[in-house]
Amino acid sequence: MKLFLTDSKDKQKKEFIPQDPQEVTLYVCGPTVYDDAHLGHARSSINFDLLFRTLQLIGYSVTYIRNITDVDDKIIKKMAETGKSLEEITMYYTKRYNQEMQALQVLEPTLTPKATEHIESMAEIVSTLLKKNIAYRVSNQDIYLDVSKDSHYGEISHQSQDDGKARVGASGKRGSKDFVLWKAKKEHDKVFFHSEFGDGRPGWHLECSAMVQKHLDKPESTQEFMCDIHGGGEDLFFPHHENEASQCRCAFNKEIAHYWIHNGFVRINGEKMSKSLGNSFFLKDALQEYSGEVIRFYLCSVYYRNDFNFNEEDLKVSKKRLDRIYRLKKRVYGVKCGVADKEFENNLLKAMCDDLNVSVAFAHIDEMIALYNEKLDKEPKNKVLKQSIVANLALIKKSLGVAGADPFEYFQYGISQDLKQRVEDLIAQREAYKFEKEYQKADKIRDEIMSLGVSIMDVPGKTLWEKV
């Protein structure tokens, strides 16, 4: 099946054709690990996870890289504020980020390289640009790229070299859009690295170029681009991605990416957010109230290029939609997987191959749920029907990363450990009464369980329960 994506460079939806017919190379800008992940990080990771899954579903082998920026001015500022080392800060927030992405059912990329692991590669790029007389030093010994030497600068974002929007920095900077490649070590700097052109640390834009060149580019081939797809949030389009492209163009005489994919911003409507979320942009706060799967499903619900207005009322409505999937899953609990409905499978994949059209994909899922609930009502003992439903649900999990949990555990989310233990104890007590054939006492325990806001279902060998 053909995949169509909207290329941010020309804002046209076009057929995706990889340089290698069998393998796709995908690079996405990841987090700067100085603080907890926010909902923008979550949305970007989920959207590119959808792309990763779709590429695999249609038969491609995918090398997917999402970097970790673990040296940056924001991290250095955090060091000064907390008294902690760079390693302490970055290791802590990297671990937190990975745990939260796991909660969101985001697949682990092929590689998650760190900036500090690529200092030598970045220094080599700077050396190359200095030798080509494309980079230059300013009075404080910082090294900049001379954008005027790149005749194609601005072709990614369509911002010209002289529109005056970029900041003019240190004394001696030649052009407003010239950008720093290497920040020379200053007197009180605690974070710096050695290089042949002096101690210092890399500019932010440099790491992605170095990582793409090291892990994805195939210089021995005739491929025109260093990778097939480069992605990230809309806020990275300019100047970050424009500068990455310029560095590669000038250093390697090659374009960094064939297709540019960007997701829209996440906005929060403060007036409608509840105190339970504290009007916070942090993902950790949302995860205190809702499961990662519920948040994922909600963040999936809007076309990736559009801005997303995070609103708790909309989140609750989205959860009810996910609930319907799990209620169908309850009806086929314990059934083995069969063969998916070919029409449903084709419709779902067709929607995702149409520029990740989640709205159409969700509509097909809604139709499937309604149709198969109706079929189950008419044929509740049809084994082949039930196996087909299980296969349909497995396809949803594989393509969208949802509906993979145990349905009873899903409906238990948010129940305190004390209440869970109370329910489990009562169920055990009820089972004992049933074993002793004291059915009146067992029924009394059942009523007590239901009074706790819990429903139960007896299946062979055990009793399942959920929050009503």
Mark whether 220 and 321 lie in a shared domain: no
pLDDT of 465 > 90? The answer is no
* Burial group, residue 1, by CB count within 10 angstroms (0-12, 13-18, 19+): exposed
Higher pLDDT, 456 or 79: 79
Answer yes or no: is 78 within a domain: yes
pLDDT of 162 > 70? The answer is no
Identify the helix (H) or strand (E) that includes residue 146: none
> Taking residues 279-306, what's their average pLDDT?
91
d(CA 410, CA 363): 22
> Taking residues 360-387, what's their average pLDDT?
97
Mark whether 216 and 150 lie in a shared domain: yes
> Taking residues 280-302, what's their average pLDDT?
92
Answer yes or no: is 73 within a domain: yes
Helix crossing, 342-353 with 383-400: angle to 10°?
10
Mark whether 279 and 361 lie in a shared domain: yes
Mark whether 350 and 442 lie in a shared domain: no
Q: From 366, 386, 410, give the residue that closes a domain.
A: 410
> Taking residues 2-22, what's their average pLDDT?
97
Give 165-207 pLDDT, tens digit per residue.
444 555 689 999 999 999 999 999 999 999 999 999 999 999 9
Mark whether 211 and 306 lie in a shared domain: no
Mark whether 391 and 275 lie in a shared domain: yes
What pLDDT, on a 0 to 100 scale, did the predictor assign at position 340?
97
> Taking residues 311-323, what's their average pLDDT?
94
Say if CB 103 and CB 287 are below 8 A apart. Answer: yes
Mark whether 234 and 279 lie in a shared domain: no
DSSP character for 240? Answer: I
Mark whether 309 and 444 lie in a shared domain: no
Mark whether 343 and 209 lie in a shared domain: no
d(CA 220, CA 224): 11
d(CA 398, CA 213): 31
Answer yes or no: is 4 within a domain: no
Band (pLDDT 50/70/90 cuts) for residue 455 is: confident
Answer yes or no: is 181 within a domain: yes
Mark whether 252 and 319 lie in a shared domain: no
pLDDT of 91 > 70? The answer is yes
Mark whether 275 and 292 lie in a shared domain: yes
What pLDDT, on a 0 to 100 scale, did the predictor assign at position 460?
77
Separate counts of helices (H) and strands (E) for the chain? 15, 14
- Closest listed residue to residue 397, CA positions, set 466, 464, 330, 322: 322
Give 376-395 pLDDT, tens digit per residue.
999 999 999 999 999 999 99
pLDDT of 61 > 80? The answer is yes
Mark whether 319 and 446 lie in a shared domain: no
Q: From 410, 427, 443, give the residue that closes a domain.
A: 410
Q: Mark out the alpha helices in 256-382 (DSSP H runs).
A: 283-289, 292-300, 312-331, 342-353, 358-378
Give 224-283 pLDDT, tens digit per residue.
999 999 999 999 999 999 999 999 999 999 999 999 999 999 988 743 323 345 545 889
Among the residue ranges 153-162, 224-233, 330-339, 367-376, the one predicted with the least confidence is: 153-162
d(CA 364, CA 348): 7
d(CA 287, CA 114): 26
- Closest listed residue to residue 181, CA positions, set 149, 215, 151, 226: 149
Answer yes or no: is 333 within a domain: yes
Q: What is the pTM of this model?
A: 0.92
Q: Mark out the alpha helices in 334-455 (DSSP H runs).
A: 342-353, 358-378, 383-400, 407-410, 417-435, 439-451
Task: Provide the domain limits for residue 430.
Answer: 417-467
Band (pLDDT 50/70/90 cuts) for residue 369 is: very high
**Extended strands (E) in 29-99:** 61-66
Alpha-carbon Rg for the chain in angstroms: 26
pLDDT of 335 > 90? The answer is yes
Pairing of strands 23-28, 61-66: parallel
Helix crossing, 292-300 with 312-331: angle to 10°?
110
d(CA 231, CA 30): 10
Answer yes or no: is 77 within a domain: yes
d(CA 108, CA 53): 11
What pLDDT, on a 0 to 100 scale, did the predictor assign at position 267?
86
461 phi and psi angles, rounded to 5 deg: 90, -10
d(CA 381, CA 454): 26
What pLDDT, on a 0 to 100 scale, did the predictor assign at position 219?
86
What pLDDT, on a 0 to 100 scale, did the predictor assign at position 258?
98
Answer yes or no: is 13 within a domain: no
pLDDT of 38 > 80? The answer is yes
CATH number for 184: 3.40.50.620
Q: Which two tokens stand for residue 241?
A: 């991605």
Counting residues of the chain whose pLDDT is more than 70, the rounded percentage is 95
Q: From 390, 410, 430, give the residue that closes a domain.
A: 410
pLDDT of 362 > 50? The answer is yes
CATH number for 368: 1.10.730.10
What's the structural domain count of the chain?
3
> Taking residues 127-144, what's their average pLDDT?
97
Answer yes or no: is 29 within a domain: yes
